[in-house]
């Protein structure tokens, strides 16, 4: 157990140089290679005095090294300053935007994962039979259709034409928001099922053809017992890897879904920041995503030890 704690502490310490590297890349992208933001904000008709005042206000009159230090400070303190376009505190904007994004992405992600694994187990167990072929063909057909088609068709038929769901918008507070996220959740699940089922099926079948499975069959175990006791248990490690790695990106929600359904989440905030060249917001979202990815990668390693006791953190 002490070895596990030592590993966790080391990984948390690794966060420091990784964050410094992420900050350096973010600094290069937004402060060096992206051009002069003062010219973008003022346009062609800004006077030199206005440019100088704005440069001082944004902290762009400092040396490049001090600007980099400001980026590093923001990464460790989560104080990202104010948005250039809305003049609001970015931290409060992100906290407010995280609520709609997470209320949409968390249930949608877990529903799609559970349904995907369930169908993958079915098609892997009945591999080579009619149900396997039917579900695989259906998955490929679903993946061949653009996500925009699903959004527009479902929005038109289920929300506008039949009135089963809210067509757009969002209302804070439980249970009010549920009526606005039901249709986006359904679309998210439908979009995820095709790739998820095919991927999980491949992972499970990789275990089915291993030597230990043939040995278990030779000992007289039934196919269902071999599948549930041995195959699924060993297939859980790559499945955990695939699912946990996706968790950091849930913070950003779904860019298209939030945009089309007017959900005021981080995904919509990102699109707005891109359109308005709001660099502080983009920097904040990039850094937050990097921090979340590092922590969830650590969580992934810890979950391994519960899924498979043979895995030791060293």
As a whole number of angstroms, the distance between CA 73 and CA 96 comes to: 22
User: Which pLDDT tens digit goes with each residue over 261-291?
Assistant: 888 888 888 888 877 778 888 888 888 888 8
Does residue 106 sit in the same domain as residue 45? no
Tell me: pLDDT of 243 over 80. Answer: yes
Q: Are residues 133 and 160 in the same domain?
A: yes
pLDDT at 5: 74
Taking residues 153-178, what's their average pLDDT? 88
Parent domain of 40: 2-77
Neighbours of 266 (CB within 10 A): 31
Is 105 inside any structural domain? yes
Domain co-membership, 212 together with 233: yes
Asked whether residue 292 is assigned to any structural domain, the reply reads no
How far apart, in Å, are the Cα atoms of 305 and each of 46, 210, 233? 59, 22, 13
Same domain? For 72 and 98 the reply is no
What confidence score (pLDDT) does residue 262 get?
86
Beta bridge partners of 89: 82
Q: Is residue 305 domain-resident? A: no
pLDDT score of 71 more than 70: yes
Task: Tell me what percent of the residues of the chain surpass a pLDDT of 70.
Answer: 89
Mean local confidence (pLDDT), 230-247: 80
DSSP three-state, residue 262: coil
Question: What's residue 314's pLDDT?
Answer: 59
**One domain for residues 171 and 211:** yes
Residue 234 lies in a domain: yes
User: Are 200 and 125 in a shared domain?
Assistant: yes
Dihedral sign of CA atoms 140, 141, 144, 146 in order: negative
- For tokens 């506008």, the residue is 160
Phi-psi region of 71 (alpha: psi -120 to 50; beta: other; left: phi over 0): alpha
37 and 62 fall within a common domain: yes
Written as six digits, the tokens of 284 are 């904040």
Q: Does any domain span residue 297?
A: no
Show which of 52, 77, 102 is a domain's final residue: 77
Same domain, 264 and 142: yes
| pLDDT value, residue 35 | 63
Looking at the fold, whether 152 and 224 belong to one and the same domain comes out as yes
Q: What average pLDDT does range 69-92 have in this prediction? A: 85
Average pLDDT, the chain: 82
Report yes or no on 301 lying in a domain: no
Same-domain status, 202 and 168: yes
The domain boundary, picked from 51, 77, 103, lies at 77
The number of domains in the chain is: 2
Does the bond joining 265 to the residue before it have cis omega, within 30 degrees of 0? no
- Among 129-138, 180-189, 207-216, the minimum mean pLDDT is found in 207-216
Residue 158 has what pLDDT? 92
Domain identity same for 232 and 101:
yes
pLDDT value at 260 more than 60: yes
CATH number for the domain that contains residue 128: 1.10.3720.10
Tell me the mean pLDDT in the region 124-132: 87
Residue 3: pLDDT band (50, 70, 90) is low
Residue 15 is encoded by which pair of tokens? Answer: 């966060």
Q: 46 pLDDT exceeds 70?
A: no
Residue 303 lies in a domain: no
Same domain, 148 and 207: yes
> What value, to the nearest 5°, has the Cα angle with vertex 136 and ends 132 and 139?
145
- Whether residue 148 is contained in a domain is answered as yes
């Amino acid at each position: 157990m002490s070895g596990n704690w030592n590993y966790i502490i080391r990984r948390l310490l690794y966060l420091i140089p990784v964050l410094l590297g992420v900050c350096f890349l973010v600094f290069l992208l937004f402060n060096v290679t992206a051009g002069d933001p003062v010219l973008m904000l003022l346009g062609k008709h800004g006077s030199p005095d206005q440019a100088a005042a704005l440069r001082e206000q944004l902290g762009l009159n400092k040396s490049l090294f001090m600007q980099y230090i400001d980026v590093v400070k923001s990464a460790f303190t989560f104080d990202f300053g104010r948005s250039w376009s809305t003049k609001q505190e970015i931290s409060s904007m992100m906290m407010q935007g995280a609520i709609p994004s997470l209320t949409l992405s968390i249930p949608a992600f877990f529903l799609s994962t559970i349904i995907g694994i369930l169908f993958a187990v079915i098609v892997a167990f009945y591999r080579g039979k009619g149900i396997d072929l039917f579900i695989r063909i259906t998955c490929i057909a679903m993946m061949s259709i653009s996500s925009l088609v699903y959004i527009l068709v479902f929005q038109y038929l289920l929300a506008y034409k039949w009135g089963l769901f809210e067509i757009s918008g969002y209302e804070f507070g439980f249970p009010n928001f549920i009526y606005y996220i039901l249709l986006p959740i359904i679309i998210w699940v439908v979009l995820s099922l095709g790739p998820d089922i095919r991927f999980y099926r491949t992972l499970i079948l990789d275990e089915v053809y291993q030597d230990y499975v043939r040995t278990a069959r030779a000992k007289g175990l039934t196919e269902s017992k071999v599948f549930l006791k041995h195959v699924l248990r060993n297939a859980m490690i790559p499945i955990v890897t695939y699912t946990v790695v996706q968790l950091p990106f849930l913070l950003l929600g779904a860019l298209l879904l939030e945009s089309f359904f007017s959900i005021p989440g981080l995904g919509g905030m990102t699109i707005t920041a891109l359109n308005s060249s709001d660099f502080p917001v983009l920097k904040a979202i990039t850094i937050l995503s990097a921090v979340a990815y590092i922590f969830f990668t650590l969580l992934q390693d810890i979950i391994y030890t519960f899924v498979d006791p043979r895995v030791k953190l060293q």
